[in-house]
């Protein structure tokens, strides 16, 4: 029996290696892929139009630095902003920090990029610069591009969760744990722990400098990372904002249930053409969560540098209680 199980595990591991190798060969990553030039977006409202000219002046190097593997290059380009964080049990990570430009600081903001984006993604750079002018010390963090192994683990566990939700007839039967399912869950848990350590290190950096409150902001899938960290966040983390959040596979009701009871306020900056914000708002109201606010923003073509003015303005107003 033990011999058969070991043979199955060995075979599964080899199949996983072969599948990952095939995916890496079939899906090469281009540094310029999916990076449009500033000004390629048309329409979207007055906020976009007023920011169009300013966005086009961003240095070109911000567009070819596409992964957190380029942290060393970023640190060399922006030595006055670079801070190397030392997360517990995880590799060090680069953060870019701008202190408040006012005499009286209002607090601190940590902005986590979407997956595959650096700490100086044009959108994040614009938000950071504008928030500091409004009195908020701001740190931006990159977010690693997800590798094939983690992608496969997500897909596998999504399938397991869907099957479990749809199977109501076998509740009294013993649960069989698949070796590959356990391996996928272990991989996802390791990733969660590393990202939690990054956010904990970022928050600690500001608390060590006596900031009265820290606001966490997650962009895209970065919103998921921020939410997963919240149960362990210190009490000075008082607010959380999402920018065009991507909660793949998580229904609005499940999202509200997972965040209920946390002593923080939420700001949902969702694309105005999407129904996601309205659906999440309804779910939060049903759950009795009062500290939730949704604001639609014209994000034609997805969040970009030209949207940073509108996003930073709404973040600063909400954070200040306006």
For the domain that residue 250 is a member of, what is the CATH number? 3.40.50.1820
Is-contact 131 215, C-beta < 8 A? no
Mean pLDDT of all residues in 174-198 = 77
Q: Is residue 256 part of a domain?
A: yes
C-alpha 127/C-alpha 133 separation (Å) is 10
pLDDT given at position 247: 92
Q: Is residue 5 part of a domain?
A: no
pLDDT given at position 182: 78
Task: For 272-302, write each residue's pLDDT tens digit.
Answer: 988 899 999 999 999 999 999 999 998 877 7
Mean pLDDT of all residues in 136-165 = 77
Indicate the number of domains in the chain.
1
Give bridge partners of residue 240 from the DSSP assignment.
216, 266
Q: Is residue 296 part of a domain?
A: yes
pLDDT given at position 44: 38
Mean pLDDT of all residues in 93-106 = 95
Q: Is residue 292 part of a domain?
A: yes
Q: Is residue 272 part of a domain?
A: yes
Q: Is residue 238 part of a domain?
A: yes
pLDDT given at position 321: 83
Global pTM value? 0.74
Mean pLDDT of all residues in 97-108 = 95
pLDDT at 53 over 90: no
Q: Is residue 63 part of a domain?
A: no
Is-contact 38 58, C-beta < 8 A? yes
C-alpha 198/C-alpha 89 separation (Å) is 10
Q: What is the Rg, in whole angstroms, of the alpha carbon atoms belonging to the chain? A: 21
Task: For 2-17, write each residue's pLDDT tens digit.
Answer: 444 444 334 444 444 4
pLDDT at 239 over 80: yes
Q: Is residue 59 part of a domain?
A: no
Is-contact 275 299, C-beta < 8 A? no
pLDDT given at position 159: 62
Query: With bands split at pLDDT 50, 70 and 90, how would you rate the model's confidence at 180?
Result: confident
For residue 215, what are the domain limits? 71-146+195-319
Question: Cβ of 297: how many Cβ atoms within 10 Å?
Answer: 21
3 state SS of 101: coil
């Amino acid at each position: 029996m033990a011999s058969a199980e070991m043979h199955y595990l060995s075979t599964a591991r080899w199949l996983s290696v072969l599948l990952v190798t095939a995916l890496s060969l079939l899906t090469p990553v281009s540094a310029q892929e999916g990076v449009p030039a500033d000004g390629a977006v048309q329409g979207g409202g007055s906020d976009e139009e007023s920011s169009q000219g300013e966005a086009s002046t961003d240095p070109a190097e911000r567009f070819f630095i596409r992964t957190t593997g380029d942290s060393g290059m970023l640190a060399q380009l922006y030595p006055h902003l670079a801070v190397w964080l030392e997360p517990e049990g995880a590799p060090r990570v680069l953060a870019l920090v701008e202190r408040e430009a006012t005499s009286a600081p209002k607090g601190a903001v940590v902005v986590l990029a979407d997956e595959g984006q650096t700490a100086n993604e044009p959108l994040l750079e614009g938000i950071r610069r504008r928030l500091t002018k409004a009195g908020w010390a701001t740190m931006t963090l990159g977010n690693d591009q997800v590798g094939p192994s983690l992608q496969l683990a997500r897909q596998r566990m999504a399938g397991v969760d869907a099957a479990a939700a749809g199977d109501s007839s076998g509740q009294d039967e013993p649960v069989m744990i698949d070796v590959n399912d356990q391996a996928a869950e272990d991989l996802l848990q390791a990733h969660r722990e590393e990202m939690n350590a990054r956010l904990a290190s970022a928050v600690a950096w500001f608390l060590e400098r006596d900031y009265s409150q820290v606001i966490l902001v997650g962009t895209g899938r970065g919103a998921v990372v921020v939410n997963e960290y919240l149960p362990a966040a210190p009490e000075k983390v008082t607010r959380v904002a999402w920018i065009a959040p991507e909660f793949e596979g998580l229904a609005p009701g499940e999202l509200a249930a997972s965040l209920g009871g946390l002593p923080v306020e939420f700001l949902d900056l969702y694309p105005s053409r999407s129904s996601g914000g309205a659906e999440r708002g309804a779910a939060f109201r049903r759950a009795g969560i009062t500290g939730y606010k949704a604001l639609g923003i014209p994000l034609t073509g997805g969040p970009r540098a030209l949207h940073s003015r509108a996003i930073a303005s709404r973040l600063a107003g909400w954070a200040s209680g306006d």
